[in-house]
Amino acid sequence: MKEFLLLFRNKSGEGSYSVSPEQMQAAMPKWQKWIGDIAANGQFVSTQPLDYEGKIIRPGGITDGPYVEVKEIVVGYLICKAETLEEAVKIGKGCPILDYPGGSLEVRTITPFVV
């Protein structure tokens, strides 16, 4: 099986996420079920939310990030196992981020690093 990175994206608010802590808490059972189903199928590798604040490192220096000019940011990720990209997309279609206004999901194949 290959590994796939599912990137959770959502609209950025004014210095915070566009979804309130109360809305996040209310959605938690759906997230737990979705991730639990992936784990029950033996396809779960890892997942974590990402903090809103960060830094961007470029050859010319370090700036605050994520990018101020973007309308959406990466808010978390899940790594799962699947045979094909299409199978990983099928897993992603059940992601609760798709219920959020402005939520989206990017699915990418993780390419093994060959030394």
Supply the pLDDT for residue 68.
Answer: 52
Per the CB < 8 A criterion, the answer to whether 28 and 34 are in contact is no
Mean pLDDT over the full length of the chain: 88
78: nearest Cα among 54, 104, 56, 107: 107
Query: What are the structure tokens assigned to 73, written together?
Result: 């940011």
Tens of pLDDT, residues 40-76: 999 999 999 888 788 888 898 887 766 555 677 888 9
CATH number for region 2-109: 3.30.70.1060
Tens of pLDDT, residues 20-39: 788 889 999 999 999 999 99
What whole-number distance in Å separates Cα of residue 67 and Cα of residue 84? 32
Break the chain into its structural domains and give their ranges: 2-109
In this model, does residue 111 exceed pLDDT 90?
yes
